[in-house]
Amino acid sequence: MSRKARLFAISSPGGHWIQLTRLCAGLEQRYDIVYAMPDRHFQSRQSQKVYAVTDVSADDKWRLIPCALQVLWILLKERPQAILSTGAAPGVVAILLGRLLGIRTIWVDSIANVQKISRSGELVRHRADVFLTQWEHLSDGGQVQYQGSVL
Amino acid sequence: MIFVAVGTQFPFDRLIRCVDEWAASTGQSVVAQIATGEYEPSHADWERFMATDTFNRHLAAADLIISHAGMGNIITALEHRKPIIVMNRQHELGEHRNNHQADGLAWMGRLPGVYTARNCEALRRLLARMTELKPADAITTARRQRLIDFIDRAIGT
């Protein structure tokens, strides 16, 4: 029996989410994608499995705890082969937990960060298995790679 | 109709006021999504937050989009082939956590179909010639496909 590998895709709402879903649109055929995103205004497409998680940002760090517990539960339940995030704080939570659980982690820094790597990206650049910037000039030829962009 | 949207994270009264006062003086039809802003438009129709379907319906019906310099609205406008004017939030005015919107404005302005304004005056100058603002022909997909293919390989290895 051939089963598609599972991918866990997580981001903040708004621009991070728009970028994440545009990338996942090109991966949906090959992977069973499970999403997580904090947004009360969002309506998912019926074909998308989207978990709601507690919103967290640099302004309300205490919410990291409920967010982390929710993400941990999803990871244990869904057992993804890999984690993909475009940021921001919820993605950091998922990358750090994924590393702890031995799940492959991929970070795509938001295209909005054109002069330097994002603040959330800086927190995981040494921890994600694959760290991608969407700007060629921000690649360091080693750990921080440029391999294309959403636009 | 012109559709103005400021995202869901923060208010952006400077942009909403600028467009609303312009709309009042020109009689233009405007729909605004204003988040938690204190300024309530007197001319434009407005809502604080919109469900995705409502948002997309206004976007599809609009001739022009005006937005904060956020990637979500830029990508969505490009996909709907609508011209978009973006005005950046300013960290110094408490409009965002940092100044990445100001930093990004130069490259955003190089995207086809995207027009940029640093302040209300610049925005009004663009609005004065709004019939000349053209949408992008089509969204370029080569860089996106390259990134998707790389992620696909990265998941497997």
Q: What is the pLDDT of residue A1?
A: 47
Task: Give a yes or no: residue A36 inside a domain.
Answer: yes
Q: Which residue of A has its CA nearest to B74?
A: A15
pLDDT confidence bin for B14, thresholds 50/70/90: very high
Q: In degrees, to the nearest 5, what angle opens at C-alpha A46 toward C-alphas A43 and A48?
A: 85
pLDDT digits (tens, 9 = 90+) for B17-74: 999 999 999 999 999 999 999 999 999 999 999 988 899 999 999 999 999 999 999 9
Contact assessment for residue B127 and residue B22, using Cβ atoms and an 8 Å cutoff: yes
Is A115 part of any domain?
Answer: yes
Report residue A141's pLDDT band, with 50, 70 and 90 as the boundaries.
Answer: confident
CATH for A70: 3.40.50.2000
- CB pair distance less than 8 Å for A18 and B52: no
Q: How many domains does chain A have?
A: 1
pLDDT by residue (tens digit) across B117-156? 999 999 999 999 999 999 988 777 899 999 999 999 999 8
ipTM here: 0.95
Among B52, B75, B145, whose Cβ lies nearest the Cβ of A151?
B75
Name chain A contacts of B35, Cβ cutoff 8 Å. Answer: none
Measure the CA angle with vertex B75, ends B74 and B80; round to 5°. 100
Give a yes or no: residue A151 inside a domain: no
Model confidence pLDDT, tens digit, residues A68-106:
999 999 999 999 999 999 999 999 999 999 999 999 999
Range of the domain at A129: 5-146
Which residues lie below 8 Å from residue B70, measured CB to CB, with a gap of 6+?
Answer: A14, A15, A112, B7, B86, B101
Q: Which residues of A touch B107 (CB under 8 A)?
A: 114
Q: How far is A63 from chain B (nearest CA, A)?
A: 16
CA atoms within 13 A on the CB side of B17: 10
Query: Could you tell me the pLDDT band of residue A43, with boundaries at 50, 70 and 90?
Result: low
- Residue ranges in chain A assigned as alpha helix (H): 15-25, 64-78, 89-101, 119-124
Residue A144, SS3 per DSSP: strand
B15 Cβ neighbours under 8 A, 6+ residues apart: B4, B6, B66, B68, B87, B120, B123
For residue B105, give the nearest of B114, B97, B94 by alpha carbon.
Answer: B114
The model's confidence at residue A55, banded by pLDDT at 50, 70 and 90, is confident
- The answer to whether B138 faces chain A, any CB pair under 8 Å, is no
* Domains located in chain B, CATH noted: 2-156 (3.40.50.2000)
